[in-house]
A and B are shown apart, each in its own frame.
Chain A
Amino acid sequence: GDSVTQMEGPVTLSEEAFLTINCTYTATGYPSLFWYVQYPGEGLQLLLKATKADDKGSNKGFEATYRKETTSFHLEKGSVQVSDSAVYFCALFTGQAGTALIFGKGTTLSVSS
Chain B
Amino acid sequence: DVKVTQSSRYLVKRTGEKVFLECVQDMDHENMFWYRQDPGLGLRLIYFSYDVKMKEKGDIPEGYSVSREKKERFSLILESASTNQTSMYLCASTRTSGGRGELFFGEGSRLTVL
Contacts and interface: CB of A to CB of B under 8 A. Distances in A.
Interface of A: 32, 34, 36, 41-46, 49, 89, 91-93, 95, 98, 100-101, 103-106
5 contacts: A43-B105, A45-B105, A100-B58, A105-B40, A105-B42
B56 A105 contact: no
A100 B58 CA distance: 8
Contacts, number: 50
A103 B90 contact: no
Interface residues of B, number: 22
Contacts of B35: 103
B18 interface: no
Nearest to B33: A100
Contacts of B105: 43-45
A43 B106 contact: yes
Given A49-B101, A98-B56, 11 more contacts: A32-B101, A41-B107, A43-B107, A44-B43, A49-B102, A93-B100, A98-B50, A101-B33, A104-B42, A105-B40, A105-B42
